[in-house]
Structure 1
Amino acid sequence: MTDQPLAGRTVIDLTTALAGPYATLLLAGLGATVIKVENPATGGDSSRDNAPYVGRSGLSLTRQADDDMSVSMLVRGRNKLSVTLDLKNPRAQAVFADLVRDADVVVENYSPGVTRRLGIDYETVRRINPGIVYTSISGFGAQGGPGSGKAMDSIIQALSGVMLTAGEPDEGPVRFGLPVADMLAPLFAVIGTVSALLQAEHTGEGQHVDVSMLGALTSLVACEPFDAFEAVGLPLRTGSTVPRLAPFGILPAADGHLALCAPTDAFAHGVLRAMGRAELIDDDRFRSRDQRVAHADELHELIRLWCRDRPVAEVLHALTEQGVPAARVREPRDAVRDPLVREREEVVPVTHPRYGQVGDLAATGVPIRFSSARAGFDRPAPALGEHNDAVYRGRLGYSEEQLCELAAEAVI
């Protein structure tokens, strides 16, 4: 796709697991040539060993054949070129230098200190290619932090405070089912990378882009003034409803749940009309927003009583007729099959490189639409080292003899 925004840019991908590979997946979806460097001694990206797997017989919990591929890799590896290179091997230094010499971006998500020990840190790469944009995604920042250990998504959720923003007041911490820390940091990493590329066009100089998972997630926690709520006596954890926005929350109906968002006077009064209780619009408890907040428990209980014996469809019909924002709470399997997100390619089918589309499994697309460019994926995930010849011989100009020698010495 030569009409993609990042067409012509080359990214050297040193990442593994989720946070880093999701960033490079987005860069690939925007048109960059992403060369994924994987260690042959360890079997490559750790995602290659994530169950379940897809093969000739479909989905399985364990790998059944050599060409079975992890669903994680099928999703995260699309539009990437895979080469093998053992960066711990002394001879890998020269190969790595050749890879980055004409590249635009390096993305890595090693623990702090590892890139320096391997000789692939920013200062080293900058000496080879002063225009390089070198993006680091880590748990606590490229320099680490006091007591900073391994950065797993749940660790970052715990430290960010986000686990105590959801759930009932008397419950323990709630872990988000979506690995939100692992997926949020890459978004900021892509923003930083593209911004640095734009700056480099004017200055000719690259730079180090440093994104921490903890900083990214905690910055979003700070977008909501939880400390201010606490100072004025508002509860931080309110369960299925949000009293300060009443009526607002998740409500049970006879056959499911619905989300209701009606914080303004117009929306709140629409709820009362939908319930057949228009007389309550002038009730001193519900007339204005401040009054509704003060009597949120009473208001939410009235709405619950109205919803609980009615089907979701009936409740939604009554609310939407009054212009009130409301929606059914969907199962993930239904949400990713929504015709709208499928038509816009924000969610796309999972494809195995040999066996094609995998049932009705869903994968992330690039959720950005351009008026004069394309974004998306047109190649399935690669096998480990599938593009060694294309990159080392075709791109770097290595001879057959050189490739055989590197392979014999377990460099690639």
Structure 2
Amino acid sequence: MSNPDAPLAGKTVIDLTTALAGPYATLLLASLGARVIKVENPERGGDSSRNNSPYVTADGLQLRRTGPDDMSVSMMARGRGKESITLNLKHAASREVFFDLVRHADIVVENYSAGVTRRLGIDFAAVQQINPRIVYTSISGFGAQGVPGEGKAMDTIIQALSGVMMTAGEPGDAPVRFGLPIGDLVAPLFAVIGTLAAVMDAERTGEGQHVDVSMLGSLTSLVACEPFDALESVGFPLRTGAVVPRLAPFGTFQSVDGWFAICAPTDAFAEGTLAAIGRPELVDDPRFSSRDARVDNADELHALVSEWARTRSSAEVLSAFEHNGVPAAPVRDTATAVRDDIVTGRGEVVPLVHPQFGHFEGLYGTGLPVVFSRSRADLSKPAPGLGEHTDGVLGDLLGYDAERVAQLRQDGVL
């Protein structure tokens, strides 16, 4: 039962997604209060995330499963707040069950390769005939039109094609792959934005629509937020490594015991930086007295910061910047970052809980990084076992009797 105080309370989502991009989108919808019914293929062991090592077992984190109740950390994170039913969509008899689900739904989300839902007979055109108000969201690598050939989209492929790999590192470096699967995580954000907009439109017009989001387009659109071509044409290198010369002083620098970041592009912040490093007289130096001058002499300015910092501790460095009003912060590792009291206190990062074994220290997952003044958002419900809610959903929601459910299971539909 969804939280009645949540923004999407009363909305039902049929979740046909697997892996990361699609499940993250439906995780966000679940956190906003929608009832998410996850449809999983019983022949393949359900969502591919269920088979991602490592697993939480009765004895803690293990690289391999040790028992039937073990669950992958991936599924523990991505399956929260959802109900799981099994349905073999390749079985001819499954279509009737699926369409019955659609009659009770507001949203369908899928992330099959382009063309797969049409071959299965469950694409938007087919679904719209069953429920004209349905919002049907597709997340794919390249868009619903597909691309010639296989067109397989994995995060690294999307990073490579989007240009983002050539925005980090020093000039001449090999391409830099983001450690975070940014392609898989950006597309679902746009998918949720599009889905919610289409739901609002359906409530106004009574007509649903197809929301088509591509991973490549989502990530490339962010790359295009920075005018890299224009910047190169006036002499700014595409790749600038640890610093950003056009915003100098700006970047990451090394102290005796760690790394820190400063962002000081304005005159006031730059003046504070020069005071912090013990060179206040340089405020009136023509090389650093204006923003444009600092950009022209960024290498010299950044060298001054680096030389000063490398003989000092991070605590000393950050104290000096703070004292002089300069935005600065330590570069933290992920383990420290996810335990920050600010983000955990706001529910932006939350502990992951196994439905049987509970929480093991060190296991954290994404929360909803939105805090409402009145509505409640929640991701405390653990991920379901494969097909855990099949009988309940088919019985309570669709009105199937036990005999029919048993026959569907016997026939290989469920």
| TM-score normalised per structure 1 | 0.99
For 1:162-204, what per-residue CA distance to the aligned partner results, in whole angstroms no more than 9, with x for missing partners?
Answer: 0000001121100000000000000000000000000111100
For 1:85-136, what per-residue CA distance to the aligned partner results, in whole angstroms no more than 9, with x for missing partners?
Answer: 0000000010001000120000000001100111110000000000000000
SS of the equivalent of 1:17 reads: coil
Quote how far apart the aligned CAs of 1:61 are.
Answer: 0.7
Structure 1 distance, partners of 2:406, 2:381, is 28
Structure 1 distance, partners of 2:401, 2:104, is 19
Q: How does 1:112-261 map to 2 (within 5 A)?
A: 112-147=114-149, 149-261=151-263
- The question of whether the paired residues in 2 share the 8 Å contact of 1:230 and 1:236 is answered with yes
Aligned-partner residue type, residue 142 of structure 2: F
Question: Which residue of the partner structure matches residue 337 of structure 1?
Answer: 339
Question: Which residue of the partner structure matches residue 400 of structure 1?
Answer: 402
Aligned-partner residue type, residue 207 of structure 1: Q
Question: Which residue of the partner structure matches residue 50 of structure 1?
Answer: 52
Q: How does 1:46-85 map to 2 (within 5 A)?
A: 46-85=48-87
Quote how far apart the aligned CAs of 1:76 are.
Answer: 0.2
- The question of whether the paired residues in 2 share the 8 Å contact of 1:51 and 1:70 is answered with yes
Structure 1 distance, partners of 2:318, 2:184, is 34
Question: Which residue of the partner structure matches residue 367 of structure 1?
Answer: 369
User: RMSD in angstroms over aligned alpha carbons?
Assistant: 0.7
Structure 1 distance, partners of 2:270, 2:146, is 48
SS of the equivalent of 1:25 reads: helix
Of residues 316, 319, 325 in structure 1, which corresponds to 2:318? 316
Aligned-partner residue type, residue 319 of structure 2: H
Quote how far apart the aligned CAs of 1:278 are.
Answer: 0.5
Aligned-partner residue type, residue 358 of structure 1: F
Question: Which residue of the partner structure matches residue 94 of structure 1?
Answer: 96
Structure 1 distance, partners of 2:394, 2:104, is 13
Task: Give structure 1 regions of 4+ aligned residues with deviation exceeding 4 angstroms.
Answer: none
For 1:226-261, what per-residue CA distance to the aligned partner results, in whole angstroms no more than 9, with x for missing partners?
Answer: 011111121010110111111000000000000110
Aligned-partner residue type, residue 310 of structure 1: R
- The question of whether the paired residues in 2 share the 8 Å contact of 1:257 and 1:312 is answered with yes
Structure 2 distance, partners of 1:268, 1:124, is 60
SS of the equivalent of 2:37 reads: strand
Structure 2 distance, partners of 1:175, 1:376, is 32
User: Which consecutive unaligned segments of at least 5 residues does structure 2 have?
Assistant: none
Structure 2 distance, partners of 1:378, 1:301, is 48
Question: Which residue of the partner structure matches residue 12 of structure 1?
Answer: 14
Of residues 40, 43, 48 in structure 2, which corresponds to 1:41? 43
Aligned-partner residue type, residue 172 of structure 1: A
Structure 2 distance, partners of 1:231, 1:125, is 49
Aligned-partner residue type, residue 200 of structure 2: L
Aligned-partner residue type, residue 370 of structure 1: F
Question: Which residue of the partner structure matches residue 351 of structure 2?
Answer: 349
Deviates more, 1:137-146 or 1:115-124: 137-146
- State how many pairs are aligned: 412
Structure 2 distance, partners of 1:366, 1:128, is 32
2:287 maps to 1:285? yes
Quote how far apart the aligned CAs of 1:148 are.
Answer: 5.7
Aligned-partner residue type, residue 341 of structure 1: V
SS of the equivalent of 2:17 reads: coil
Quote how far apart the aligned CAs of 1:145 are.
Answer: 2.3
Percent identical pairs in the alignment equals: 66
Aligned-partner residue type, residue 51 of structure 1: S
SS of the equivalent of 1:193 reads: helix
Structure 2 distance, partners of 1:358, 1:195, is 38
SS of the equivalent of 1:351 reads: coil
Quote how far apart the aligned CAs of 1:360 are.
Answer: 3.0
- The question of whether the paired residues in 2 share the 8 Å contact of 1:140 and 1:148 is answered with no
SS of the equivalent of 1:41 reads: helix
Question: Which residue of the partner structure matches residue 105 of structure 2?
Answer: 103
For 1:55-106, what per-residue CA distance to the aligned partner results, in whole angstroms no more than 9, with x for missing partners?
Answer: 1001001111111000000000001000000000000010001000120000
Structure 1 distance, partners of 2:235, 2:249, is 19
Structure 1 distance, partners of 2:93, 2:284, is 79
Question: Which residue of the partner structure matches residue 328 of structure 2?
Answer: 326
SS of the equivalent of 2:360 reads: strand
